[in-house]
Structure 1
């Protein structure tokens, strides 16, 4: 009896020790949980998520919701072992290594700023893709988006300089600008006509040889997009590019006299580029749970992310539709709206 009692006491002490350690021992892992579901056709803090100025816009029933993942943990706010183990056992959560979101060579501030920039870029790309799908025209303007230290552009070009011409030949976008520079040999001069603060000036640079033997000036050229009317998207503190597809669909709905959804509740996740290509995203398992929790009937997912849909806690409880392009998403919505041919919707 004495030995049995001592065994029970030791076991209880060990269990208590493990419990205390689980609460106070913090681990370098992140817990991913279902996050926000925000209807792009609705309102946030009393304002329309998508606002159009300078063009007729429309409001329709139905929902086209972007969904997010909520992360706990990270540098300076690590989760405890007990929380990580509980999440690992949860069907709706996932445990990731800290480096998946916070690479050790980048600060939290840098990552946050990058997420904000990605959100801004995804909104512009979504507007461009939506207008292309609707047959509306817009303009692109090549601008200086980055400058490499130690190369000719440093101290001469400035961020946001608009590139008007290369050696007197007008350029329409970033691709044309880069091609014009690369027509030279390393060591050749090149003159850029730039617009800065409303004034134009000619800047002569001498190209250098890159690691790939191409002529370079040390400037990253991006595209600024000029739209025929104003579209503003407000989503609060959400960052990253994964809502691009749903933004584009929401914009099309706002600019169309007829509803895209026919009153259906649709959620989804996928990046978008200006040509309407839908790209893969992470966290689909948790996003599907967010969508189901908010009453979505359909979940649109980038084709590249299809493999993530099979292990979600919401698998089998929500209709998953595979999307590769914005046009495919619009076509699928037409099928949902009509209620006919639902078995023909593309599936993962």
Structure 2
């Protein structure tokens, strides 16, 4: 069987240029020709752009890590200095992965797919990474925050288990608006607040929590081996709490050593899941009873859970990893609502105590008392 002949070529008509005539003699109007040519040009442009590197950053769900698991026979979270107990289930920390067009050379097609995917975001590279100098500073801060979050997670976990962690509370900074300016200085060590000894960071926070913003506080401190006392008015933190306007660098005396076998993650947002893993491992109870829980959130030494970025992507990453439950900082509820993937139950937590109660409730199947993010 012979092949069908090719379609006849289209030729421009030289008589006035108002029509295009194919060899069969059928006229085509100029509008049809312009539309056809424009469509062809757009298709060619898209084809070219789709293979050229795009100067965008694409964020999406990153890998998750079960903090109760092992890596080549070594616990991902390893504790020395205290007995540990087997733990069932999963406590997964979640991450966000960011790719950049200048180094990954992804195409416009990938950018367009990222825009259309609710689990991803696409922004110009500079919005994420900034200048080279800014990026270097950010990476250094992220690495330091990763290390600091592990210490804070350990302190918070121990104190939540009623094991106080002694600390030397050294003043690292007096902020310019503080009314302690000229009275306290970096290097001073706070030993008492309003007449109450503060041997731990949480003790300091507890005493300050009873102070009304604007009221005076009396601070006993040690400078150069000498103890002295000053009084000054507190500030308002904007949420009804009192602030001294001091940056405190607590030197913790940890009774245990905790090491983490992850070197590919930065930032402080894994703190909550570290704390829960430590609590689970230090207690005989089987809190999870094989439940698969993921989550995110910063943690400070007082056990307060802080908001993080990219929570929608982290929830999708949790589902991809097989988690059935997710713990979200209460301050992230605005981003949680409307973005929860199918099959995932999300509970909001404000403190480590909330989070620990949540995994116990999940493990026992009693979740009625747990808090969920709700629309205002």
Per-residue CA distance 1:84-106 (angstroms, 9 max, x = gap)? 22200113211235455324484
Where has structure 1 moved over 4 Å in runs of 4 or more? 3-7, 74-80, 142-148, 161-166, 170-176
- 1:102 matched to 2:129: yes
CA distance change for structure 1 residues 324 and 221 in 2, over 3 Å: closer, same or farther? closer
After TM superposition, list the pairs within 5 Å mapping 1:124-163 onto structure 2.
124-142=151-169
Higher relative contact order (CA 8 A, sep 6+): 1
CA distance change for structure 1 residues 163 and 171 in 2, over 3 Å: closer, same or farther? farther
Number of residues paired by the alignment? 298
- Which residue in 2 is equivalent to 1:47? 74
After TM superposition, list the pairs within 5 Å mapping 1:1-348 onto structure 2.
2=20, 3=28, 4=32, 7-24=35-52, 26-27=54-55, 29-73=56-100, 80-104=107-131, 106-142=133-169, 192-193=223-224, 222-312=249-339, 314-340=340-366, 342-348=367-373
Task: Give 1:193 deviation, angstroms.
Answer: 3.3
8 Å CA contact 1:309–1:315 kept in 2: the answer is no
| TM-score of the pair, normalised by structure 2 | 0.69
Greater displacement, 100-109 / 88-97: 100-109
Structure 2 gap ranges (5+) = 1-9, 11-19, 21-27, 176-185, 192-196, 205-216, 227-245
Per-residue CA distance 1:210-233 (angstroms, 9 max, x = gap)? xxxxxxxxx965222221121222
8 Å CA contact 1:142–1:162 kept in 2: the answer is no
Secondary structure at the aligned position of 1:24 is classed as coil
CA distance change for structure 1 residues 303 and 54 in 2, over 3 Å: closer, same or farther? same
8 Å CA contact 1:163–1:171 kept in 2: the answer is no
CA distance change for structure 1 residues 220 and 278 in 2, over 3 Å: closer, same or farther? closer
Greater Cα radius of gyration, structure 1 or 2: 2
Q: What's the RMSD between the two structures over aligned residues? A: 3.4
- Give the Cα separation in 2 of the matches to 1:99 and 1:10: 33
Secondary structure at the aligned position of 1:327 is classed as helix
- Give the Cα separation in 1 of the matches to 2:198 and 2:74: 39
CA distance change for structure 1 residues 283 and 54 in 2, over 3 Å: closer, same or farther? same
8 Å CA contact 2:153–2:272 kept in 1: the answer is yes
Greater displacement, 8-17 / 109-118: 8-17
Greater displacement, 9-18 / 106-115: 9-18
| TM-score of the pair, normalised by structure 1 | 0.74
Structure 1 gap ranges (5+) = 149-160, 177-181, 185-189, 195-201, 203-218
Task: Give 1:173 deviation, angstroms.
Answer: 7.6
